[in-house]
Amino acid sequence: MIKNQVNFNNNKKRLVAVAAAAVTVVLVVSIATIGAAPPSVQQQDTERAAGPRITSGNIVDGEVTTRDLANGAVTGEKIQGISKLIFASCTFEGTIAPGAFATQQCDIAGVSLDDSVIATSNFDDVEVVTASARGNAVLVDLHNENPDSSMTNGNIALLIFHT
């Protein structure tokens, strides 16, 4: 019986040694595999990644603003289904009487008759009723919804696109 106990202990020691060796081999192979993996885009020192760029650290507030984008960085070719994209603005210089309507022509190069337009105004109580594309211009119809006060001068933001 003592002989069987000695053989069991020897087998147990061998089993522990083999298991430890196997775990060591697996760890070494794993580390080698991870080390051989190609670097991520952020880790690569490539021409594309060079220079200023927006990274996760730049968007800690959850928003990308105009100052984060280079001029001309957002174009129609970069948005699926859009072949033209123009951001523009114009100024309404005049007065809209209480409850009255006015039309502003915004001259914008590159606008075609078949383009779509989205317009907003920064006037208090002035609503954009319609905005329509013309040749190199956008016509914006405005309505002063304030029944008591005239509205004078304001900016109109425009997004012109073609699908």
| pTM metric for this prediction | 0.56
Domain span at residue 92 reads 71-162
Query: Does the residue 26 lie in any domain?
Result: no
- The pLDDT, as a whole number, for residue 88 is 93
Edge-to-edge, what's the strand order for the sheet holding 101-107?
Answer: 101-107, 137-144, 126-134
Query: Does the residue 23 lie in any domain?
Result: no
Name the DSSP class of 38: P
- The pLDDT, as a whole number, for residue 79 is 78
Query: Does the residue 87 lie in any domain?
Result: yes
Q: Where do runs of H (alpha helix) occur along 37-128?
A: none
Query: Does the residue 138 lie in any domain?
Result: yes
**Residue 122 token pair:** 């920064």
Choose among 120, 154, 113, 119: nearest CA to 137. Answer: 113
Other Cβ atoms less than 10 A from the Cβ of 128: the count is: 19
Query: Does the residue 128 lie in any domain?
Result: yes
Residue 118: give its domain's CATH number: 2.70.40
Q: How many domains does the chain have?
A: 1
**Does position 85 have pLDDT exceeding 70, yes or no?**
yes
Query: Does the residue 134 lie in any domain?
Result: yes
DSSP β-bridge partners for residue 104: 140
The residue written with tokens 């016509």 in the block is 139
∠ CA 152-117-156, nearest 5°, is: 20
Query: Does the residue 17 lie in any domain?
Result: no
Query: Does the residue 42 lie in any domain?
Result: no
pLDDT tens, 43-64? Answer: 555 555 556 666 666 666 667 6
Between residues 28 and 58, the one the model is more confident about: 58
